[in-house]
Amino acid sequence: MTRYLLSRVGQAALVLWAAFTASYVLLQLLPGDSILIKFQNPELGLSPQQIAEIRAYYGAGDPPLLDYLNTLLGFLTGSFGYSIDTGSPVVERLAEALPETAKLASAAFVLAVLIAVLIAFAASYSRTSWLRGALLSVPSLFISVPAFWLGILLIQVFSFRLRLVPVIGGGELQQLILPVLTLAVPISAPIAQVLARGIDQVYAQPFVPVIAAKGATRWWILWRHVARNAVLPAMTVAGLTFGELIAGSVVTETVFGRGGIGRLTEQAVNAQDTPVMLAVVVLAAAVFVLVNLVVDVLFPVLDPRLKAAS
């Protein structure tokens, strides 16, 4: 078990380093120059010499490998450099944005899992085939709904028509409802699909009639046995949806005008603020890797057969 854990942690560190390096290289290759975008503005009235000095200050002239190693060292020691756009440390900007997104994303994730479980359970529990078919087609619908459209639709219906949730103002919880829903719906779809399919596969296993032969009710069988067995592949998918969660928060935060990592990303891209973009990418990768590490570690706990293998 310890060896399994160590190798997984090692792999996670490797993935993080690869993500950092890949995004560093890509950001370097981007055409355009963030410093020029900001300081070449004629209104600022800076001379070419002054701009060159600013460039030197940000280390823009350093040889690429040296710059790479400097940045990597900075990341390892927790210093992500300075935002070119605002001049403030990237760490500060992240720290400001992170709690908002964490609230939004974690609430959305929990809601997504609830929706997924509800759909999958209802589909497998229903005996009417048209109802089952209808429930099973819900995920396909959910996954094809664009987040920006859903967000606008929800605002239209719940805020403007029904006036249930205020657009501006209101408590923190009220402000969260619509963005969380917008983010949760598309994410719940793959989890629901995999869970429903997993449940169907487990139902086809020979051990299910044996449990029924003990006199168990349908709910007992579904809850205590089938769901337990079907949860593993769904968990893998749930871990993978964290990537979508981060991507989805960009759109959601923009549509709802919320601050957060998504909004920060959008601003950084507009300003070609490379240090911020790099930090955001690495942060997203870190969260993604961490979540999947947790999933991997949970696997043998949920399925004893994997304990021997690991």
Between residues 29 and 204, which has the closer beta carbon with respect to another protein?
204
Considering only residues 83, 188, 229, 241, which one is a binding residue for another protein as defined by CB under 8 A?
Answer: 229
| Dihedral angle sign, alpha carbons of residues 199, 201, 202, 203 | positive
List beta partners, residue 6: none
Instruction: Name the nearest CA neighbour of 120 among 216, 28, 202.
Output: 202
State the minimum distance, in angstroms, from the CB of residue 119 to another protein. Answer: 20
Residue 251 corresponds to which amino acid? Answer: V
Between residues 68 and 299, which has the closer beta carbon with respect to another protein?
299
Q: Applying CB under 8 A, does 130 fall inside the site for another protein? A: no
Q: Applying CB under 8 A, does 212 fall inside the site for another protein? A: yes
State the minimum distance, in angstroms, from the CB of residue 220 to another protein. Answer: 7
State the minimum distance, in angstroms, from the CB of residue 293 to another protein. Answer: 22
**Which range touches another protein (CB under 8 A), out of 13-21, 40-48, 216-224, 253-261?**
216-224
Q: Applying CB under 8 A, does 308 fall inside the site for another protein? A: yes
Query: Which positions from 190 to 209 touch another protein by CB under 8 A, shown as an x/- string?
Result: ---------------xxx-x
Query: Count of residues binding another protein (CB under 8 A)?
Result: 23
Write a three-state SS string for 125-172: HCCCHHHHHHHHHHHHHHHCCCHHHHHHHHHHHHHHHCCCCCCCCCCH
Q: Applying CB under 8 A, does 133 fall inside the site for another protein? A: no
Question: Residue 44 and residue 48: Cα distance in Å, rounded?
Answer: 12
Token readout for 178 is 């619509």
In the chain, the N- to C-terminal Cα span, in Å, equals 6
What φ, ψ does residue 125 adopt, rounded to 5°? -85, -25
Long-range contact pairs involving 47-56 (C-beta distance under 8 Å, separation at least 24): none
State the minimum distance, in angstroms, from the CB of residue 207 to another protein. Answer: 5
Considering only residues 46, 60, 145, 211, which one is a binding residue for another protein as defined by CB under 8 A?
Answer: 211
Q: Applying CB under 8 A, does 1 fall inside the site for another protein? A: no
Considering only residues 220, 240, 269, 300, which one is a binding residue for another protein as defined by CB under 8 A?
Answer: 220
State the minimum distance, in angstroms, from the CB of residue 295 to another protein. Answer: 16
Q: Applying CB under 8 A, does 216 fall inside the site for another protein? A: yes
Residue 30 corresponds to which amino acid? Answer: L
State the minimum distance, in angstroms, from the CB of residue 206 to another protein. Answer: 4
CB neighbours of 230 closer than 8 A, spacing ≥ 6? Answer: 120, 195, 198, 199, 201, 202
User: What are the start-end ranges of the E strands in the chain?
Assistant: none
From the number of C-beta atoms within 10 Å of its C-beta (0-12, 13-18, 19+), residue 160 rates as: exposed
Instruction: Name the nearest CA neighbour of 291 among 218, 241, 225, 221.
Output: 241
Q: Applying CB under 8 A, does 4 fall inside the site for another protein? A: no
Q: Applying CB under 8 A, does 210 fall inside the site for another protein? A: yes
Question: Residue 271 and residue 250: Cα distance in Å, rounded?
Answer: 16
Q: Applying CB under 8 A, does 213 fall inside the site for another protein? A: yes
**Which range touches another protein (CB under 8 A), out of 13-21, 26-34, 152-160, 302-310?**
302-310
Between residues 225 and 258, which has the closer beta carbon with respect to another protein?
225
State the minimum distance, in angstroms, from the CB of residue 13 to another protein. Answer: 25
Contact residues for another protein, defined by CB under 8 A: 127, 205-207, 209-218, 220, 225, 228-229, 302-305, 308
